Amino acid sequence: MSAETVIPQTSHVERHGYLFGHPIAHSLSPLFHQTVYDGLGLKWSQFPLDSLDMDLFLKLRQDPNFYGASITMPHKLAIIPHLDGLTPEGADVGAVNTLFLREDPGTGKRQYIGTNTDVIGIRDSFYENVSNPDACFHERPGLVIGGGGAARSAVYALRRMMKASKIYLVNRDRREVKAVIDECTARGYGDGLIDVANVEQAQELAGPGAIVACVPNFTPRTEEEKEARRVMECLLAKEHKGAILEMCYHPSPWTEIAEISQRAGWKLILGTEAMIYQGLEQDKYWTGKQIHELPVKKVHEVIAAKLNEARL
Per-residue pLDDT 10s for the chain (312 aa) are 445 788 999 999 999 999 999 999 888 999 999 999 999 999 999 999 999 999 999 999 999 999 999 999 999 999 999 999 999 999 999 899 999 999 998 999 999 999 999 999 999 999 999 999 999 999 999 999 999 888 999 999 999 999 999 999 999 999 999 999 999 999 999 999 999 999 999 999 999 999 999 998 899 999 999 999 999 999 999 999 999 999 998 778 889 999 999 999 999 999 999 999 999 999 999 999 999 999 999 999 999 998 877 665
CA angle 53, 21, 68 (to 5 degrees): 95
**What is the pTM (predicted TM-score) of this model?**
0.91
Annotated catalytic, 241?
A: no
Catalytic-role residue among 43, 59, 76, 298: 76
CA angle 214, 37, 277 (to 5 degrees): 25
Domain 120-270, what fold? Rossmann fold (3.40.50)
Q: How far is CA 149 from CA 80, 115, 158, 174, 178, in A?
A: 15, 14, 14, 16, 13
CATH, domain range 15-116: 3.40.50.10860
Residue 152's Cα: distance from chain center in Å?
10
Query: Please, which residues bridge with residue 28 across strands?
Result: none
127, 89 contact by CB (below 8 A): no
211: Cβ contacts below 8 Å, ≥ 6 apart: 142, 143, 144, 145, 235, 236, 242, 243, 244, 245, 261, 266
Compute the distance between CA of residue 168 and CA of residue 213 in angstroms, rounded to an integer: 12
Domain parsing of the chain, residue ranges? 15-116, 120-270
